Structures are given as C-alpha cells and as structure tokens.
A and B are shown apart, each in its own frame.
Chain A
Amino acid sequence: MKQPRLSLSLLMLTIAAAGFLFPACKPKNAGSAATGDATKAYVPPGKHDEFYNFVSGGFSGQMSVYGLPSGRLLRVIPVFSVDPEKGYGYSEETKPMLNTSHGFVPWDDLHHTEMSQTNGEIDGKWVFGNANNTPRLARIDLKTFRTAEIIELPNSGGNHSSPFGTENSEYIVAGTRFSVPPDDVNGDVPINTYKQNFKGHISFVSVNKETGAMDIAFQLKTPGVNFDLARAGKAKSHGWFFFSCYNTEQANTLLEVNASQKDKDFILAVNWKKAEEYLKAGKGKKVKVKYAHNKYDEATHTATSEIRTEVTVLDVAELKDICYFIPCPKSPHGCDVDPTGEYIVGSGKLAALIPVFSFDKIQQAIAAKSFDGEYEGIPVIKYESALHGEVQKPGLGPLHTEFDGRGNAYTSFFVSSEVVKWNIKDLKVVDRVPTYYSVGHLCIPGGNTRKPNAKYLIAYNKITKDRYLPTGPELAQSAQLYDISGEKMQMILDFPTIGEPHYAQAAPADIIKNNGQLKIYKIDENKHPYVAKGEGESKVVREGNKVHVYMTSIRSHFAPDNIEGIRLGDEVYFHVTNLEQDWDVPHGFAIKGASNAELLIMPGETSTLKWVPERVGIFPMYCTDFCSALHQEMQGYVRVSPAGSNVPLSFSVGTNQPKADAAAPAAGSEKK
C-alpha cells in the first residue's frame, strides 16, 4: 500500500480495493482504453524524447527525471535524502545541504515539483521541490540537475502546500499542513488546546530572477487549519494565490472522522500584492525563529549552511483584505487555476461534485461584501457569490486538475481510479479513462501555466498491484501516459517509477537542453580550497591528527596511489579532483572500511571523503565508475600504522617500487 493519506477514510480505501478485486466495478471501457497506439510512445534507440518530466520522489525524498513519451528514467536528483551512489549527503561538500535547525536530517518526503516561470510560461531555469516532514523548500538548478539551495521554513509543520509559484516565480509558497504553536512561544502545551494555541503559517519565499537565490520575504499567520495544496493566480488573477484547506473543525485527533464533519471547508484566497503593501508599510512583525539556509557554491563545489534567526510575519486577522475564505465542499485537496486565470477548481476529495469558482465573481463578492460572516477574523465569501458552477457526478474522490489550454480540464479521481475530461465553461463531462490504480496527481506539460503544451497527460498512481511482474510485497510505483491530442484520451504507455511519484511537471526538451547546460566543471575555474590542479599539485599534508590528501584522478590512475604514514586516530580527508575535461567521464572513489559512501566526481570537480581508519593494515582504494579500458587498474593502497608509529608520511605514484635485490621485503619495512 502506498502511503495512504491520513485524511482518506478507510471506507474509500475499501472501495478502491473492491474496485480492484471486482473488475466488474471498474469503468466500462477499461479494456479498450489500454489498446491505444503504443507506437506513439516509442522513441527509437539513440533518439531523444520530446519532453523532460520532473517527477517528485515522494517518500524517497528525491526528484526523478523521465523522458516523455518513452517513460525512460534519465536521472534521479538527490534533494532531501542522502544518496550514497552520488556521495550526496556523505561528501564533506554536500553534508551542509541537509543541515536544519534540528541538525543533519538525512531523509525527507518530496511531494511536489514546480518549474520556474517567466510570463506564465516554463523558462527552464529551475525546478523546486518541497520537504513535507521537516519543512523545507529546495531549488534545483537545471543547468546542472543538482540541488543548488535548500531553505527551512519556520513556524511550520509538514510543508505540503508547496512549492507552487507565481507566473514570474516572484514567490514560491509553502503552506503548513500541520498547524502548530508558533516557534517563538512555548510549545509545551496540551495537544487538545489546538483551538487556542495552534496557528497556520504560509511562507512567501522570494526567488531572485537572475541567481535563483531564495529568501523568506514574509509569512502570513492564519487560523489553525491544515493547508493542503495551492496555485497562484495567473494573467487576470496574477497577484492572488489560492490555498485549499481542511480540518476547519480544528480537530487534533482522529482527523479522518473529526476533520470530515463539516459540509464545507475552505479555499483561502490571498491577495499577495496587498500583503506586499502592508510589508512595505512596516506592518510586519519580526519574529524570533531558527531556520537553516543552505547554498551550494558552484565555484568551490561546496555547500554552506547558515542558521538564520528572524522572519517577518503579517497577521491576516489583524491586517484586513489580504485573505478571504471561500467555502468549498468536503475537505478540498486540489485547488487549480485554469490558463486564463479566471477559473479556480476546488476538488473536495469527499465530495461528489467539483465546484468551479470565478475570479471575477470573487472580486465582485469582495467589493459587494457578499460575506457569510467570518472565520477567526477572516471574511467568508458566500459560496454562491464566488461560484461559476459545479460539475455534477463526475466520479468518486476528485483530487487534482490540470488544463489543456483548449478549454478543457482533466481531473483525477482517486476512489474511482479514473481521469475525467470536462469542459470548463459548460461543466459537461467530455471523456473518461481508467487508471491503474487509484490515481493521485496528473501532469500535462505546462498544465499549470498560461500556455499548456497539451499533447500528453500522465497519471501518477498510488497503487500498482498487478501492473508489472511481481517483486514480492514491495512493488514499483505506476504511471500511465495518455495521448490527449484528440477528443478522446488514449492510453499509450504504462511505466513503473521510483517511489513515490506524487506530482510532476514537464516541459519541452528544447527549453532545458538549450538552457546552457553544464557538461564539465572547468578546472581553471575550480576554487575548491583543496583542489589539486594537475598531478604536480597532488600531495599529502598532516595537520595534527588531520591528514589532507590532495588527490587527482584521470584515466586510469590516482595520484598519489601509495600513501604510508597514516596512524590510528587520524582523520583522513581525501580531496579528489577529477582532472578530466571531457563530458561524461566521472571518476569514483572508495576505500575499504569507510563508514560513509563513495564519491562520484564530475570532470573538473573536487569532492572530499572523510575516512577514519579503525584498524592497522593495508587499505585498498579504487575508482568505482567504469571510466576506461584500464578502469580495473585504477586503484591504490593506504598503509595504516598504530598510533604513535614512526612510519614517516609518504606518498607517491609510479615510484614506490621494490628494491631490485629485495626478493621478499620484510613486513613493515619503511620507505626512505
């Protein structure tokens, strides 16, 4: 079972399981839909895909990159979880990326991806990801496909409503899923004082247009509820943001029952331009908090982590006309804005209809004060005054909606395992196809932007069951690709993914492959403090019990490759510089007994592995990445002597040969 959402009732899961067990309950056209034209997803060997697909890795904490339409996995980018394969979180350079106010955190849960935009279109610069457990936001640089920056979010618990962005990526938002007592008050309170003591916070994180550098511009302090998902307004509604929220009951236990009491929860409409005005007018309160801000420096190949201690908070109950609640049936999950910016689709996951709100009507309702009272100081707009209309009986368990830019919306239905295409204006269902099984998010390339590129739709499922060859109790995740260029949706591919494909975005390949991608790190521009620019600079330096090895690697040897004079109690730092300057020639580095991982070093890069030998002896080291025909020769030895030993520190490559006459050198003989 894939990570059941807390908020989904057991009943729903039972229905889903029943649907699986009794094929008769499945949507009628299950068979025919699977016989779409598979050649449409075929990409011949050596040919490139049309789209890059950035898929959140869910509880793996990573982000995966697939090619579409082939569904081929191109890369797994380590973001919030350590990755021994790449040395991420193990090398000295990358450890600071995973630092938080709680210390080093080696795992998280990356739920959503968001590609940076300019004028409401994907610009191919960055992709953002959210950490759902220890609340953080990450920026991945699409020139390197590496995590460039991670910022922690104070006053938050469970950053689920994130990392959605505005149409010029002015802000990426982060709404707390779990309301908690704010960080600057005593949090040692009874849990059942939720109503008095727990608050929601939404962070607006600004993104520098040139460098991508992130900063928490301000936070909105809101009533204690659960924020779930969000979308920015666009075009006419640029300047607004919409957040779905549930648990307006403010329950603190058994939420699946207690947070599903009310007929309607809310969508929170935020006028962020107004918030900016208040901020400028000095209405924000500086609040004492603690959060980590981690940045990777491309010149030194090294990350640094800084602990910051202050954030500016705007209280939306005091500062009027930033926030309005819009009632939305039954625990809304998805909250999606169509390409024109006029329609906001709320998906009440326990509702049997989809409400569609109108931006114009919301504006009129606010002007006319067409309110139904207040909720903790925030005006509640009358449902009918904001409503464009409802899609009646579309399916069971609506979750998420994407758009094709041709007037249609596509909504996923978890409980009835299907995608439903419907017309936004007249709210009529146009087509439906089954998914296998229990679909969560959908992705249409650019499907959240002003200009969708709606050739394909991908459904990311929560349950895999019998789709692929069985692999014991634990299965790959499943995704299905549909051709949506015609009136009817056609499934053309079914492909397994790493866990857990929560949400994804996709963009035409050209936007990314022509963004000035980096192929190598130029060795002349390497500013790593322990770089060895050429074998002539390789050396071993002792500083007390710290030993720094300035090592180089090239096809097919390390320099030095013989090191003696290491003693028990030493901390050895292997700073390995890959001297190659050609694309796709990484070298690896591993040494016996290392308690961390390998290094994987790109051309021109320097990475550091810390090694603390715990016994005396000879320790082999070798290159782990098959780099050349003589890769298997790419190896060396480190000799470790007892503490206090007088074996002198020595290092060499190619010269440490036996003396011509010494047939059998005595054990422990020393080099002169």
Chain B
Amino acid sequence: MKRAYLTSVFLAALALLAACGGGEQKPETDGGSAAEPAKSMVADASSYDPKRGEGKFNESNVTVGALDAAMAAKGEAISGTKCFSCHKTTDEKLVGPGWKGITQRKAPYWIMNFITNPDPMIDKDPEVQAQLELCLVRMPNQNLTDDDARQVLEFMRKNDGAK
C-alpha cells in the first residue's frame, strides 16, 4: 500500500488530465481507498520558512566559497546514479525541472534541505507545490547522506558557473 499522498496526487492528476482533456482515461485504481483521509498538502504551513526550507541545514552550517572541484566531481557521480534519470543539467525539464540556475534561485541550505528531506517540503513549500502541479511526480527521497548532499550542491554550483 502506497502512502496516502499517492492517492491524492493521483486524484489530482486525474482531475488535471480531465480538465485538459488530455490523454486516455486511466482505468486503474491503485488499491488505495478513496475513503482514506487524504493528507493535507499544506499541513502546518504557518511555521514553514520558504527561504530556508525544512531540515537540518541553515545559514550557519552550510557555507560555500571557492569551488571545490574534487567535491563537485563526487557530486556529479552521485547525481549520475540517483538524479539524472529525472533531471537535466540544462534548463530543460525532464521529469523534474532542469538544474541550470538552481543555485541562483535557491539558497544553498534550501537545496540541501530539499534534497535530503523532500517529503515535508513538498507538502509545505508553495514553489515546490507549483512545480508538482506541472511535473505530477513527487521529487523522491534518494537517501543522500549529508556529505552526499553537500557534494551534489557543489556540482550544482559548478554547473551554474561557480569558480
């Protein structure tokens, strides 16, 4: 049994598809019962800081300086295994948004929070929710360690031209 949110995402997807008149009818029911209370998508949004995101990272424990090329190389390798099936390094959308410019749009600690702790942020972050409406797939938790996340961030900085 998948989590309740799959059901809600699925229903939302159906609603969207129906609205656009796009695609064939999806006949499947995923075994989740409609009676199940759907998890609120904006649970506890009041205390959420969209600049920082939610997780263990903040201004004080994530610092970025001159590009660390070795670290960026490690980050690229991790991304090859865990991210590139959904993200391109250009601004082109694949399953998720392209990564180009992400380090300009978002604070480093927001990125590290999101990639290590996506589930609660997808439920609360207004911009992520807007993207979810376009992508219809939730950004998965790919079980990055803190070090992995920092290395991926370094790769994103390199991708955005940091020196």
Contacts and interface: CB of A to CB of B under 8 A. Distances in A.
A629 B95 CA distance: 12
Interface stretch (A177-185, A291-299, A328-336, A553-561): A553-561
A579 B6 contact: no
A619 to B, nearest CB: 20
B161 interface: no
A555 B137 contact: yes
Interface residues of B, number: 26
Interface in B68-121: 80-82, 84-86, 94-95
Contacts of B40: none
Nearest to A536: B80
A630 interface: yes
Interface string B130-153: 000000111011110000000000
A559 B143 contact: no
A582 B137 CA distance: 14
A535 B94 CA distance: 13
B28 interface: yes
Contacts of A562: none
Contacts of B95: 554-557
B41 to A, nearest CB: 14
A535 B80 CA distance: 7
Contacts of A556: 95, 137
B137 A626 contact: no
B114 to A, nearest CB: 14
B127 interface: no
Contact of B28 (A522, A584, A626): A626
B65 interface: no
Interface of A is mostly: loop
B26 interface: yes
B31 A581 contact: no
Contacts of A520: 143
B8 to A, nearest CB: 10
B2 A581 contact: no
Contacts of B30: 626, 631
Given A536-B80, A557-B85, A626-B28, A581 B143 contact: yes
Interface string A527-549: 00000011111000000000000
B143 A582 contact: yes
Interface in A344-363: none
Nearest to B79: A534
A555 B81 CA distance: 14
Contact of A629 (B31, B80, B136, B141): B136
Nearest to B12: A629
A415 to B, nearest CB: 41
Interface in B1-21: 2-3, 6, 9-10, 12-13
B85 A582 contact: no
A562 to B, nearest CB: 16
Contacts of B2: 584-585, 626-627
Contacts of A537: 80
Contacts of B136: 628-630
A78 B61 CA distance: 47
B93 to A, nearest CB: 12
A579 B143 contact: no
A579 B3 contact: no
A579 B138 CA distance: 15
Contact of A523 (B81, B84, B137): B81
Interface in A485-506: none
Nearest to A586: B2
Given A581-B140, A581-B143, A582-B142, A559 B85 contact: yes
A628 B2 CA distance: 9
A580 interface: yes
A250 interface: no
Among A559, A579, A654, residue most surrounded by chain B Cβ atoms (within 10 Å): A579
Interface in A217-275: none
A581 B80 CA distance: 14
A520 B143 CA distance: 9
A631 B3 contact: no
A630 B26 CA distance: 10
A582 B140 contact: yes
A628 B6 contact: yes
Among B10, B85, B138, B142, residue most surrounded by chain A Cβ atoms (within 10 Å): B85
A522 B9 contact: no
Contact of A581 (B10, B28, B94, B142): B142
- 6 closest Cβ contacts across the A-B interface? A629-B13, A581-B143, A534-B81, A626-B30, A534-B80, A581-B142
15 contacts: A522-B143, A533-B80, A534-B84, A554-B95, A555-B95, A555-B138, A556-B95, A581-B82, A582-B140, A582-B141, A626-B2, A626-B30, A626-B31, A630-B13, A632-B28
Given A581-B82, A629-B136, A630-B137, 17 more contacts: A533-B81, A536-B84, A537-B80, A555-B86, A555-B140, A557-B85, A557-B95, A579-B81, A581-B140, A582-B143, A626-B31, A628-B6, A629-B6, A629-B9, A630-B13, A630-B136, A632-B28
